[in-house]
Structure 1
Amino acid sequence: MGKSTTKDARLPLWKHKGSGQWCRKVAGKFRYFGTDLEAALEEWRRVKDWILDGKEPPPHPDDDPASIAIICDAFMEFKEGLLNSGELSKRSFDGYHSTCKFLVEKLKGRTLATSLKPVDFQKLRQKMAAKWGPVKLGNEIQVIRSVFKYAYDSDLITAPVKFGPGFAKPSRLVLRKAKADKGSRLFDPAEARKIIKLAGPQMRAMVLLGLQAGLGNTDVAMLTLKHVEAEDGWLVYPRTKTAIVRRIPLWEETAAALKAAIKARPEPKDPDDAKLLFIGPRGQSYVGNNRGYRVHQEFQRVAIRAGSDRTFYDCRRTFQTIGEESGDLVAVGSIMGHAPRSDDMAAVYRQGVSDERLRAVVDRVHEWLYAGAGEEGGGE
């Protein structure tokens, strides 16, 4: 998080690009002081002696231990501990941070959690529904509920927050309707081959990984050189979202495309990106502040040229759909990196999926993509 900042040598704080907050790093820990510079400087002057001395500062006189800001800070400190211990992915941490920032902005940081009424959450949901689709809305509602549950479980508040009926997640009917309205997100084989043919070395390899292994935007953005080099002809890579390790047999076209991408790979501007496989033409990684968005942007440029309205994530949807035609759903899930349900006892006892089963799945998708196409769309 620390490297995405704008510094001014004249100020004791600098602006974090990802969150827009003024911040300072002390003893390896980032401290955030809000988006208003004057208020941030005032707060820094109030707390700096404690922080620089390695102590936690007292709360602001206008703050209450049960304020939205205090609760969100405590929640994020808890999540940061999980991040540092390897129990939480950076992507999930960033998602929690974004939700807490939204909460503080919309409910006001110094609002007491105990003063919130169901009508407040009803109004908040209306703002969220105007901003996000049903799936994103449901996910954000769940996170917000988790924030306040953490506050109650941690004795930051003495009674559970009442959300009321107006802060429910979208119904299954609404979710089904939203999915139906979007129509099929499945690639046509000729459409996919055309995109592969028009793409440059980096995007061609990404699309092939998406189609043959279900890698998503963040997966390819975070892919490192060592993941490809670990085992010849295989990709050994934990899914970014679930940390489930995947072993994926690579098509010849994909292996060739990866070699071409590595050969054409520009020198990264940021030394921290040296480990990443995919580097953009200007020397930037595809990660960015909004992980995977640069993959989406570059894919859209190629898709438009190909006359396609698909997104990069539709590669993952296509792999799942066509891969299931192999008849081996367990092998498909293994390649996709799906986390099994806690009550899935078969997954608990299963010690692995054989290479033959994994190859059968990717072979079925390869047959779908290239049958009757000759050499068209290969990784030249």
Structure 2
Amino acid sequence: MGIKNACQGSFAAIAGRLTTTSIKGTDVTVPKRTKKPDKPHPAYPLYPHGSGQWAKKVRGKVIYCGPWADPDAALNHWLRVKDEAIAGRPVSDDSCLRLKQLCNLFLDSKDARVKLGKMTPRSFKDYENACTYMVGFLGGAIPAESLKPADFTRMRLAFPETWSLRTQRNMINTLKTVFNWAYKEDYIDRPVKFGENFAVTLKEESTSTADSPAKLFTRAELKALHTAASTPLKAMLLLGLNAAYGNIDCSRLCQKDVQGEWLRVPRGKTTEPRRAWLWPETREAIRLAMEARPTPKPDHAELVFVTEAGVPFVDRDTKRCNVGKHWRRAKKTVGLERENSGFYAIRHTFATQSEEVSKDFPAIRFVMGHRDSTMSGTYRESISDQRVRDVCESVRDWWLAGDAKGSEVAE
């Protein structure tokens, strides 16, 4: 029996009589005209109701939370039901699965997959960030099965304006995964309905793409940015153009990985194997970056790139990216202000230029760390070093066009 129903009738007692009611299995005796207690402290959110309970009035309705004798338990109950009460939902009992509990169960399951080697820590962090965002917006105490399409529409409308459609789509798909998992694992009895608005449609994406400039640099833009870049950023730029490396790839690169001509580091995002032949220009830029590297903190001594504070350029927990900070500074120096000109667009440039010239698509996917899900990819057991080198050389030829090839560093 819910707290409100258990109390309302019983406390309408005849004058001079003691009233007894059961609240969560505990008999509470309330004498008539007992003096109301003071709040335990000024910030206490409940008030002493004449029924003998601590209560809160929300949307014109009184929420009964527990007897005067136990203000702490009453407060705990209020914190559990606050979100649904404020949202105008019927206050449920304590047996239902709350949103925060559901998210914790989901994350526990995904953490086990990380430990089993079936998921990358980065993917887990994406799930954790999505769950944190949802609980922060909807409230962790709301019963998971009580969520309606209107709740998800409200959440999408509140997405930050700075989020691209791709970021919105990733967030939406991740949150849908949480509830689909809960249904398959029998934590909820029915699928959650998200509604038509909690999705990024193909039309939205097509319109956005049509209105935005391509994520592609010209050779002249990259040359100017390379000239304006700091010493570590010069090496990162060449890693992006030579090996299709992104911000996080550069940040996690270790010294042992760049001892020779070949870079053989699985892609951190997907653990897909990949390989790249390092240009002489890239190897020289890495050497110079290592010479100029600030003193790293002990936990990060193996990294090629560290910030002035001696930590990685990308924080794995907060995702704070100092690569982007250095990149924006270089862009400002050369006056490059257009959209879609972030550091990651270098990876797009690599893919575009290598396909224009090399056309060895399996080798290009291999350098980029993309899984080849085609039928031929299923049967292909290896890609030769020569094919990989040819892909990397094709982009180098584009990069050095107009220069004396090898002028920056002798072969």
- Residue 123 of structure 2 is aligned with which of 89, 92, 105? 92
The amino acid that maps onto 1:235 is L
Contact 1:193 1:376 in 2 (8 A): no
- Report what 1:156 is aligned to: 187
- Report what 2:224 is aligned to: 194
Pairing 1:181–2:211 present: yes
The amino acid that maps onto 1:172 is L
The amino acid that maps onto 1:279 is V
Encode CA deviations 1:143-168: one digit per residue, 9 max, x unaligned.
1111001111121111111112222x
The amino acid that maps onto 1:278 is F
Q: Would the alpha carbon gap of residues 130 and 264 (structure 1) be closer, same or farther in structure 2, given more than 3 Å must change? A: closer
Q: Would the alpha carbon gap of residues 217 and 334 (structure 1) be closer, same or farther in structure 2, given more than 3 Å must change? A: same
CA apart distance, 1:377: 8.8
- Residue 253 of structure 1 is aligned with which of 269, 281, 287? 281
The amino acid that maps onto 1:160 is P
- Report what 1:3 is aligned to: none
Moved more, 303-312 or 133-142: 303-312
Q: Would the alpha carbon gap of residues 218 and 242 (structure 1) be closer, same or farther in structure 2, given more than 3 Å must change? A: same
Q: Would the alpha carbon gap of residues 64 and 375 (structure 1) be closer, same or farther in structure 2, given more than 3 Å must change? A: farther
Pairing 1:113–2:144 present: yes
CA apart distance, 1:116: 1.3
- Report what 1:339 is aligned to: 371
Question: Could you tell me how far apart the structure 2 residues matched to 1:115 and 1:321 are?
Answer: 47
CA apart distance, 1:181: 2.1
- Report what 1:68 is aligned to: 99
Q: Would the alpha carbon gap of residues 179 and 115 (structure 1) be closer, same or farther in structure 2, given more than 3 Å must change? A: same
The SS at the match of 2:159 is helix
Encode CA deviations 1:105-162: one digit per residue, 9 max, x unaligned.
1111010011111222222222237462211111111111110011111211111111
Question: Could you tell me how far apart the structure 1 residues matched to 2:224 and 2:369 are?
Answer: 27
Moved more, 103-112 or 275-284: 275-284
Contact 1:257 1:379 in 2 (8 A): no
% identical equivalent positions: 35
Question: Could you tell me how far apart the structure 1 residues matched to 2:353 and 2:140 are?
Answer: 48
Q: Would the alpha carbon gap of residues 324 and 262 (structure 1) be closer, same or farther in structure 2, given more than 3 Å must change? A: same
Size of the aligned set, in residue pairs, is: 317
- Report what 1:212 is aligned to: 242
Contact 2:229 2:326 in 1 (8 A): no
- Report what 1:286 is aligned to: 313
Question: Could you tell me how far apart the structure 2 residues matched to 1:65 and 1:276 are?
Answer: 47
Encode CA deviations 1:23-59: one digit per residue, 9 max, x unaligned.
xxxxxxxxxxxxxxxx9xx99xxxxxxxxxxxxxxxx
Question: Could you tell me how far apart the structure 1 residues matched to 2:387 and 2:169 are?
Answer: 35
- Residue 349 of structure 1 is aligned with which of 379, 397, 402? 379
CA apart distance, 1:339: 2.1
Pairing 1:296–2:327 present: no
Q: CA RMSD in A?
A: 2.3
CA apart distance, 1:188: 1.3
Pairing 1:273–2:304 present: no
Runs (4+) of structure 1 exceeding 6 A deviation are none
Q: TM-score, normalised by structure 1?
A: 0.78
CA apart distance, 1:329: 1.1
Q: Would the alpha carbon gap of residues 109 and 379 (structure 1) be closer, same or farther in structure 2, given more than 3 Å must change? A: farther
Contact 2:362 2:372 in 1 (8 A): no
The SS at the match of 2:265 is strand
CA apart distance, 1:201: 2.2
The amino acid that maps onto 1:336 is M
- Residue 330 of structure 1 is aligned with which of 342, 359, 362? 362
Q: Would the alpha carbon gap of residues 150 and 73 (structure 1) be closer, same or farther in structure 2, given more than 3 Å must change? A: same
- Report what 2:292 is aligned to: 264
Encode CA deviations 1:287-311: one digit per residue, 9 max, x unaligned.
2244362111111111221222321
- Report what 2:40 is aligned to: none
Q: TM-score, normalised by structure 2?
A: 0.72
Contact 1:221 1:286 in 2 (8 A): yes
The amino acid that maps onto 1:165 is E
Contact 2:98 2:142 in 1 (8 A): yes
Question: Could you tell me how far apart the structure 2 residues matched to 1:151 and 1:306 are?
Answer: 50
Question: Could you tell me how far apart the structure 2 residues matched to 1:71 and 1:133 are?
Answer: 28
- Kindly indicate which of the two structures has a greater share of residues assigned to helix: 1
Q: Would the alpha carbon gap of residues 69 and 222 (structure 1) be closer, same or farther in structure 2, given more than 3 Å must change? A: same
Encode CA deviations 1:294-331: one digit per residue, 9 max, x unaligned.
11111111122122232111110100000101111111
- Report what 1:127 is aligned to: 158
Encode CA deviations 1:173-206: one digit per residue, 9 max, x unaligned.
2112212222122111122122222222211110
With a CA cutoff of 8 Å and minimum separation of 6, indicate the structure with the bigger relative contact order.
1
